[in-house]
């Protein structure tokens, strides 16, 4: 019988890793977790949390503007970037401590350092070897930046939170989640933001109406979005960064943020020593139960090729823990995560909330579909003086009447769609939506009062 130091060794103390380690330990397993940086990973340190805090900060610019329409008279608001950075750092430090407590509580051994595999059951950290029956790789991802001349002058989202000084002119490259969110944030905080997207639309994976609607609203709010545009080179000039675009035009900027996707963190992990297979993008190949090509090694979160979202990493971690260290109160079984109706939000201004299929995706999957959509000025903006509009859309499978897609662009879209996602997972039909009484006056009530189909 081989002897092991631990029942489970988790590499990576981010969303997926911490969840797996603490839940396995709570079920009595001997667990170690290695983290090379701060506990909490991307989401806590350089992702969801600091991003959302900065998004709230940006939102105040709109609130100050709107207040006058409601009778408030304010002086000229001034924004203090240093203060925001300090407050954010304090809160993140508090969260790092909270994550430490989550691991200490059930008795996880936390090891600081870079972990690499030696073989299917052995992990090395700075020359110390640890043997474990099971290993979970949860090393997340990192930003990808394309090759071009002057690439070193660009920055990635990890660095933007502490950028010094505040960029008066910010160029954002990309049209995905991170690009749109940071374009909105820095626009709100007072920077002059230009966003360059290589395609003719932003948010490629989203519903076409959502993409178009959001682009118009972001432009109205002040973001200069340039479509079908790519960077040729960047060099430092007398007036900041001189950015040459592919069609020969120039832009000047104080900082250039590359938000051009993220790739799995699989380099330098010794995966080849253990025989773990990677796909053509360098992500760990896993089956429906997160098993890699090596039986003792699982992988969860951004390091494999699934949706790169914190709640997804958490759900995947729980599936693995349930399989390896079953809850004695539950029947042992190999569960799977169902990715069909995963809600998601883009924290732009205005925000996006979505769950299920886009119109195009639903047409491909279900054939006959019916669309209900609505566009309006929210009550708040009747007095606020802002021209921001709200968009809502339901995609319904005609044959079954099931709502298979919900999409919103507008204030609190993420908060609103989260609730509707429950109904969608429960299989709610359009008739169920119609028979639900609205809450008046809210924007969300529109989702239960759209009676006339826009198209079929
Ligand atoms: P991570 O959280 O990245 O954790 C991996 C950890 O492994 C890191 O702490 C890393 O230091 C450590 N590590 C790596 N290699 C080693 C090694 N060899 N040894 C030891 N430790 C190692 N998702 C949302 O759901 N909502 C959002 O609003 C949202 N906003 C985001 C904003 C930004 C700017 C970014 C970049 C991402 C955002 N995400 C958001 C995505 C979310 O952060 C990730 O999907 C999530 O963090 C993935 O969790 P994970 O456990 O797979 O990896
Ligand atoms: P995304 O995949 O969302 O977007 C990447 C963008 O970069 C796309 O617009 C893509 O263009 C563009 N791009 C890719 N390669 C190049 C290139 N070579 N040159 C120019 N443009 C390029 O990635 P993000 O980096 O924005 O975010 C990574 C992931 O993190 C997201 O997919 C999401 O899962 C997660 N995340 C979640 C958030 C949330 O839940 N609110 C917030 C932030 C991140 P094209 O459209 O043409 O493909």
**32 in contact with ligand 2, CB cutoff 6 A:** no
Write the CATH number of the domain with boundaries 6-142+264-324.
3.50.50.60
Torsion from C-alpha of 144, 146, 147, 153, nearest 10 degrees: -80
Give catalytic status of residue 440 as yes or no: yes
Q: Residue 375: beta bridge partners?
A: 391
Q: What are phi and psi of 334, to 5 degrees?
A: -90, 105
229-287: per-residue pLDDT in tens?
A: 999 999 999 999 999 998 889 999 999 999 999 999 999 999 999 999 999 999 999 99
pLDDT of residue 96: 98
pLDDT band at 328 (very low <50, low <70, confident <90, very high): confident
Q: Which residue minimizes the CA distance to atom 4 of ligand 2? A: 176
CATH architecture of 344-448: 2-Layer Sandwich (3.30)
Which of 161, 175, 196, 261 for a ligand 2 pocket mutation test, highest count of atoms within 8 Å of Cβ? 261
**214 in contact with ligand 1, CB cutoff 6 A:** no
Which of 42, 264, 305, 316 for a ligand 1 pocket mutation test, highest count of atoms within 8 Å of Cβ? 42
- Ligand 1 centroid to residue 137 C-alpha, Å: 12
pLDDT of residue 456: 83
Which helix (H) or strand (E) segment holds residue 100: the answer is: helix 81-104
Distances in whole angstroms, Cα of residue 206 to Cα of each of 250, 323, 453: 30, 33, 21
Domains 6-142+264-324 and 151-260 fall in the same CATH topology: yes
**Calpha distance 274→124 (Å, rounded):** 12
Contact (Cβ atoms closer than 8 angstroms) between residue 201 and residue 211: yes
**265 in contact with ligand 1, CB cutoff 6 A:** yes
372-387: per-residue pLDDT in tens?
A: 999 999 999 999 999 9
DSSP string for 210-246: HHHHHHHHHHHHT-EEESS--EEEEEEETTEEEEEET
Mean pLDDT of 320-336: 86
Mean pLDDT of 379-407: 97
> Which residue from 121, 50, 412 is spatially nearest to 275, judged by alpha carbons?
121
pLDDT band at 371 (very low <50, low <70, confident <90, very high): very high
- Ligand 2 centroid to residue 48 C-alpha, Å: 14
Class of domain 151-260: alpha beta
Residue with tokens 């639900």: 436
Q: Which residue minimizes the CA distance to atom 14 of ligand 2? A: 260
Q: Which listed ligand is nearest to 44 at the C-alpha?
A: 1
pLDDT band at 1 (very low <50, low <70, confident <90, very high): low
Residue with tokens 């993008």: 281
Q: Residue 429: beta bridge partners?
A: 402
Q: Which residue minimizes the CA distance to atom 9 of ligand 1? A: 41
pLDDT band at 197 (very low <50, low <70, confident <90, very high): very high
pLDDT of residue 305: 77
Do you find a cis peptide bond into 53, omega within 30 degrees of 0?
A: no
Helix-, strand-, coil-residue percentages of the chain, each rounded to 5: 35, 25, 40
73 Cβ contact partners less than 8 Å away, ≥ 6 residues apart: none
Burial class (CB in 10 A: 0-12, 13-18, 19+), 144: middle
**Calpha distance 116→269 (Å, rounded):** 4
- Ligand 2 centroid to residue 199 C-alpha, Å: 12
142-193: per-residue pLDDT in tens?
A: 999 999 999 999 999 999 999 999 999 999 999 999 999 999 999 999 999 9
% residues pLDDT > 70 (the chain): 100
pLDDT of residue 333: 72
- Ligand 2 centroid to residue 55 C-alpha, Å: 18
- Ligand 1 centroid to residue 157 C-alpha, Å: 12
**43 in contact with ligand 1, CB cutoff 6 A:** yes
pLDDT of residue 306: 83
**311 in contact with ligand 2, CB cutoff 6 A:** no
101-114: per-residue pLDDT in tens?
A: 999 999 999 999 99
**125 in contact with ligand 1, CB cutoff 6 A:** no
Residue with tokens 């380099």: 267
> Which residue from 188, 216, 227, 224 is spatially nearest to 387, judged by alpha carbons?
216
**309 in contact with ligand 2, CB cutoff 6 A:** yes
286 Cβ contact partners less than 8 Å away, ≥ 6 residues apart: 292, 298, 299, 304
Q: Which listed ligand is nearest to 353 at the C-alpha?
A: 2
Instruction: In the chain, count H helices and then E strands.
Output: 13, 22
> Which residue from 373, 446, 361, 433 is spatially nearest to 403, judged by alpha carbons?
433
> Which residue from 289, 362, 295, 294 is spatially nearest to 332, judged by alpha carbons?
289
Domain residue ranges in the chain: 6-142+264-324, 151-260, 344-448
Q: Which of 153, 201, 298, 440 is catalytic?
A: 440
Q: Which residue minimizes the CA distance to atom 2 of ligand 2? A: 261
**Calpha distance 13→21 (Å, rounded):** 9
75 Cβ contact partners less than 8 Å away, ≥ 6 residues apart: none
Q: What are phi and psi of 124, to 5 degrees?
A: -110, 130
What one-character DSSP code corresponds to residue 12?
A: -
**34 in contact with ligand 1, CB cutoff 6 A:** yes
Contact (Cβ atoms closer than 8 angstroms) between residue 135 and residue 227: no
Least confident of 103-107, 136-140, 304-308, 382-386: 304-308
């Amino acid at each position: 019988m081989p002897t092991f130091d631990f029942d489970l060794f988790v590499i990576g103390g981010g969303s997926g890793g911490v969840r797996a380690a603490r839940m396995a330990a709570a079920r009595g397993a001997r667990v170690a977790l290695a983290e090379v940086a701060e506990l909490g990973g991307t989401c806590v340190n350089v992702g969801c949390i600091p991003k959302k805090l900065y998004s709230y900060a940006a939102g105040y610019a709109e609130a100050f503007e709107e207040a006058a329409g409601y009778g408030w008279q304010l002086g000229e608001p001034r924004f203090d970037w240093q203060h925001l950075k300090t407050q954010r750092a304090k809160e993140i430090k508090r969260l790092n401590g909270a994550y430490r407590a989550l691991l200490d509580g059930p008795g996880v051994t936390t090891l600081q350092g870079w972990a690499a595999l030696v073989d299917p059951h052995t992990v090395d950290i700075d020359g110390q070897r640890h043997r474990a029956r099971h290993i979970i790789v949860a090393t997340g991802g990192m930003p990808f930046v394309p090759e071009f001349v002057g690439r070193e002058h660009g920055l990635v989202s990890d660095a933007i939170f502490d950028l010094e000084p505040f960029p008066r002119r910010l160029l954002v490259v990309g049209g995905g989640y991170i690009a749109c969110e940071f374009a909105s944030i820095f626009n709100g905080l007072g920077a002059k933001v230009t966003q360059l997207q290589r395609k003719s639309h932003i948010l490629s994976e989203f519903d076409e109406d959502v993409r178009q609607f959001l682009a118009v609203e972001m432009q109205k709010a002040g973001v200069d979005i340039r479509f079908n545009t790519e960077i040729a080179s960047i060099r430092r000039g007398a007036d900041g960064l001189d950015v040459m675009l592919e069609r020969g035009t120039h832009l000047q900027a104080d900082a250039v943020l590359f938000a051009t996707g993220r790739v799995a963190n699989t380099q330098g992990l010794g995966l080849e020593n253990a025989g773990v297979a990677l796909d053509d993008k360098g992500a760990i190949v896993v089956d429906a139960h997160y098993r890699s090509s090596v039986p003792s090694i699982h992988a969860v979160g951004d390091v494999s090729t699934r949706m790169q979202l914190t709640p997804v990493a958490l759900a995947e971690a729980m599936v693995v823990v349930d399989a390896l260290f079953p809850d004695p109160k539950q029947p042992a079984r190999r569960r799977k995560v169902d990715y069909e109706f995963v809600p998601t939000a883009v924290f732009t201004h205005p925000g996006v909330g979505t769950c299920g299929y886009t119109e195009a995706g639903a047409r491909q999957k279900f054939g006959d579909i019916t669309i209900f959509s609505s566009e309006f000025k929210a009550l708040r903006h009747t007095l606020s003086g802002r021209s921001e509009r709200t968009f809502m859309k339901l995609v319904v499978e005609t044959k079954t009447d099931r709502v298979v897609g919900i999409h919103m662009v507008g204030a609190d879209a993420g908060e609103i769609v989260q609730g509707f996602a429950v109904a969608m997972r429960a299989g709610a039909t359009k008739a169920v939506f119609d028979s639900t009484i609205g809450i008046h006056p809210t924007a969300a009530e529109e989702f239960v009062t759209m009676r006339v189909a826009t198209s079929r």
